[in-house]
Structure 1
Amino acid sequence: IFSMHTALDNSVLGVNNMICDKLGLINRQILIPQAQTIKKLITFVPKNEADTLRNALFEAGAGSIGNYNNCSFNTEGIGTYKGNEASNPTLGKKGEIHFENETQIAVTFPRHLESNILKALFKTHSYEEVAYEVTTLENKNQQIGMGMIGELEQEMSETDFLNTLKTNMKTETIRHSGLLQKNIKKVAVLGGSGSFAIHAAKAAQADVFVTADLKYHDFFTAENQIVLADIGHYESEQFTKNLLVAYLTKKITNFAIVLSKTNTNPVKYF
């Protein structure tokens, strides 16, 4: 169930990538990176156990930053503690203050892996009581979020772009804001209802924003800075089923997955 839920979440980003594929966009980035999905763990471990614990955290999914894995920061220091009569210290004696050469390990990880990370920490750490800190970072997650923005390999006129968009996205009509009489190079996309991302597309200096379900007053927010192109809700999300079929086919190899060819769009064009 969790894997399927994750697949559905990832399909949002996947659909936007497929729109980018259809338009031939390069140099892609997430339009609205998601906030508060990156966490940081700081813990303290005896120096001679640092490698073992660090590797266990990496195996659990910590320490990945973009294209890099096994990322951590390590500081050497001296930890102190004194156990009470009910304690059973791994190092030192109860009732006596103990000084231990320790390594402070700091790693980041995605929010959904917190349970796995902490399980690896407690399983691997030798201390009876493990000292650790988990915080949520303000850093934007550059790997997940809403929408995409990229560039055409060759810029084109607004009319040529709209014709390409209409053909490649198989839409019968495009509602758009006023054309600005300039070439299109930078394109922002967001499948489904995307009016909330207009300001993000403008801030990213996109020449055009491709989305759906724009209302009358939404078009005023273009403010002669961007072309807003509404291709229709169904049309913008029509490739979701392809993603799900690909995912299920990969995960369930002994079960036939059939891609429906039925057009379920309730909107008809006259």
Structure 2
Amino acid sequence: MYAKGQTVIGLMEQLAPKHVAVPDDKIGLQLGSLQKEIKNVLVTLDVTDAVVEEAIALKVDLIIAHHAIIFRPLAQLQTDTPAGRLYEKLIKNDIAVYISHTNLDVTEGGINDWMAEALGIEASDSLENVHTDKLFKLVVFVPKTHHKQVLDAVLNAGAGAIGNYSHCSFNIEGYGTFIPQEGTNPFIGEQGKMERAEEIRIETIVPSSLRSKIIAAMLKSHPYEEVAYDLYSMDLKGRTLGLGRTGKLREPVLLKDFVDRVKTGLKVDHVRVVGDLNRPVKKAAVLGGSGGRYWKQAQFRGADVLVTGDVDFHTAQDALAAGIAIIDPGHHAEKIMKDKVAGWLKEKLSETKYSTEVHASKVDTEPFQFM
């Protein structure tokens, strides 16, 4: 059985939820329809003509890309332009295109974490915070006989996370009273009679990003027709996600040796380097894509070097004068996402017993040639 388009994207958004993206980022379905079976998915950094030809050869129904193919509203769609021809080819071959951009950068276990891991950076902080989860307090009253069933359901759905602790809750025994009215089918008690039931009050924390999932799990596991529960907004802040990662290296190295690590870890042949190659590097920062403007944030967080792409001349001069090194492996270093996303989706689709195939694009979309 093949997964529907919405099912595939639902899995993708478990990895990179849309709500954590930078505001106004061009993400989501940009072309085509998800209302169809998906036999083949192609994961790519960019959607170029060569990538579309690859997709056609693989009989792909859905392309998941990191970089958008539509950046601004279209005034017209002319099929005699390079972009128009690309859109036409995708439409004629019924290939949908879905974009996961800054949400894949920001999310835990996304591009910036993959790059940090590849460079041996024990990532701890972001360079710029983008999204902070709002927290709610969930209170639900459960008959004593079904306490464990409901508690396990809400905690396993993601409730109860406090810092580095999970499955946190508080439980109080007491009595609930109610009178089932006409037309009810009570789990406990009889119509028209006051019922006094042994119940347990469960309290736990719910992040806004998982609120719908947790409430649905609670209602499904609860035996009552009408579930008594409260959801209170809290002033406490939840998990914060952001762009880039900073952290210590497992062991200090010289900048020239760290350069070799960048080339190997990110699979690039050439990099541009700002700084003394013999300076020690104890802490590093990384940001996929164009991140030159974040060198001050990297330095403020104690990084000796920032690894990022598209660094301009004046930014390089300013960083050099300020005493922070920069390694520029190019914007295309984000290609690390192809195998990572494809592997993640393959695993999730396999777990759900779907026959949908996922392919990592083999097309090199790097626009630069190094002579």
| Shift, 1:199, TM fit | 4.2
Distance change in 2, residues 1:138/1:146 (3 Å): farther
SS state of the match for residue 266, structure 1? coil
Aligned with residue 6 of structure 1, among 11, 14, 31: 14
Distance change in 2, residues 1:245/1:116 (3 Å): closer
CA distance in 2, matches of 1:234, 1:73: 48
Whether 1:233 and 2:331 are equivalent positions in the alignment is yes
| Shift, 1:66, TM fit | 6.1
Distance change in 2, residues 1:77/1:190 (3 Å): farther
- Which residues in structure 2 correspond to 1:20-169 (within 5 Å)? 20-25=116-121, 27-32=122-127, 35-45=131-141, 48=144, 50-65=147-162, 68-75=165-172, 103-123=200-220, 124=222, 126=224, 128=226, 130-135=228-233, 138-141=236-239, 144-169=241-266
Deviations 1:130-153 (A, max 9, x none): 3412426653526x5432233333
Distance change in 2, residues 1:61/1:21 (3 Å): closer
Aligned with residue 303 of structure 2, among 201, 206, 228: 206
Distance change in 2, residues 1:8/1:56 (3 Å): closer
State the superposition RMSD in angstroms.
4.0
| Shift, 1:186, TM fit | 0.9
| Number of residue-to-residue matches in the alignment | 264
CA distance in 1, matches of 2:281, 2:141: 55
CA distance in 2, matches of 1:23, 1:191: 12
| Shift, 1:73, TM fit | 2.7
The answer to whether the 8 Å contact 2:319/2:326 transfers is no
Q: Which amino acid aligns with 2:367?
A: P
Distance change in 2, residues 1:14/1:261 (3 Å): same
Equivalent residue for 2:366?
265
Whether 1:194 and 2:291 are equivalent positions in the alignment is yes
Whether 1:17 and 2:113 are equivalent positions in the alignment is yes
CA distance in 1, matches of 2:223, 2:236: 28
Higher relative contact order (CA 8 A, sep 6+): 1
CA distance in 1, matches of 2:132, 2:207: 9
- Could you state the TM-score of these two structures normalised by the residue count of structure 1? 0.73
| Shift, 1:216, TM fit | 4.2
The answer to whether the 8 Å contact 1:76/1:102 transfers is yes
Q: Which amino acid aligns with 2:115?
A: I
- Could you state the TM-score of these two structures normalised by the residue count of structure 2? 0.56
CA distance in 2, matches of 1:255, 1:269: 38
Please, which runs of 5 or more residues in structure 2 have no aligned partner?
1-8, 18-102
Deviations 1:187-241 (A, max 9, x none): 1111112245434423321111111123445442676253232221012x02111
Distance change in 2, residues 1:114/1:171 (3 Å): same
| Shift, 1:35, TM fit | 3.6
| Shift, 1:242, TM fit | 0.9
Distance change in 2, residues 1:132/1:255 (3 Å): closer
The answer to whether the 8 Å contact 1:34/1:140 transfers is no
- Which residues in structure 2 correspond to 1:236-255 (within 5 Å)? 237-250=334-347, 251=349, 254=355
Q: Which amino acid aligns with 1:173?
A: V
The answer to whether the 8 Å contact 2:11/2:345 transfers is no
| Shift, 1:46, TM fit | 5.4
CA distance in 1, matches of 2:315, 2:182: 66
